[in-house]
Amino acid sequence: MRRIGTVLAAMVLAGGGLLGGAVPAVAASAAVDCGVTWGSLDKSGDSLVNRRLVGVRAGQHECYDRLVFDGQGTSADPIRYSVRYVDVLHQDPSDVVVPVEGGAVLEISLFSSRYDPATGQPYPALPTVDVTGYRTFREFKVTGGSEGYTQAGLGVRARLPFRVFQTANHLVVDVAHTW
């Protein structure tokens, strides 16, 4: 009789272990929550330091597409920026309309000179970023700039929520896939 009790106890524990193993698998698949709360209003960040941009790249995530600007300097120096949706992207200072693919356009202004202040010579141009096949991004263009800042346009699928933040020497622009 004792043997049957031991076998029953082992079966209950094994069954509980199986159920316990199934719960984390369900929890893991439900762990991704794309319920973003960022909004689509203008975003900006202040700094007294004029940081030189040395690169730009893009990446895809489960809930958003990401654009990253790499700045020269220390991580303690914030990058001054302004990011906002515009109906039409106008190149500054010429006011020429710059066509950008997508249902909406984010104008990104980074307060980073395109010229070396000591020599007056232009820094190397930021690379182009191919966003073909991205879920939200449609086109990225560096459009110009003057007076100590760089302007870019980011065409996106629609006017979706976005966030902007700095981590170390990088300014990050995330645009959500959905509301």
Query: In the chain, what are the domain boundaries?
Result: 1-31, 43-176
- Paired with 67 in beta bridges are 58, 173
Annotate the chain with three-state secondary structure.
CHHHHHHHHHHHHHHHHHHHHHHHHHHHHHCCCCCCCCCCCCEEECCCCCCCEEEEEEEECCCEEEEEEEECCCCCCCCCEEEEEECCCECCCCCCECCCCCCEEEEEEECCCCECCCCCCECCCCCCCCCCCCCCEEEEEEEECCCCCEEEEEEECCCCCEEEEEECCEEEEEEECCC
> At 157, is the pLDDT very low, low, confident or very high (cuts 50, 70, 90)?
very high
Written as six digits, the tokens of 158 are: 């629609």
pLDDT score, position 127: 87
pLDDT score, position 119: 87
pLDDT score, position 92: 82
pLDDT score, position 48: 66
pLDDT at 62 over 80: yes
Task: Say if residues 177 and 34 touch (Cβ distance below 8 Å).
Answer: yes
pLDDT at 12 over 70: no
Q: What is the mean pLDDT of residues 40-66?
A: 90
Q: What is the mean pLDDT of residues 153-178?
A: 95
98 backbone dihedrals φ, ψ, rounded to 5°: -110, 115
- Which residue did the predictor score with more confidence, 113 or 34? 34
Compute the distance between CA of residue 102 and CA of residue 149 in angstroms, rounded to an integer: 24
pLDDT score, position 30: 53
Distances 151 to 18, 82, 103 between C-alpha atoms, Å: 56, 10, 19
Least confident of 72-81, 104-113, 116-125: 72-81
- Return the CATH fold of 43-176: Immunoglobulin-like (2.60.40)
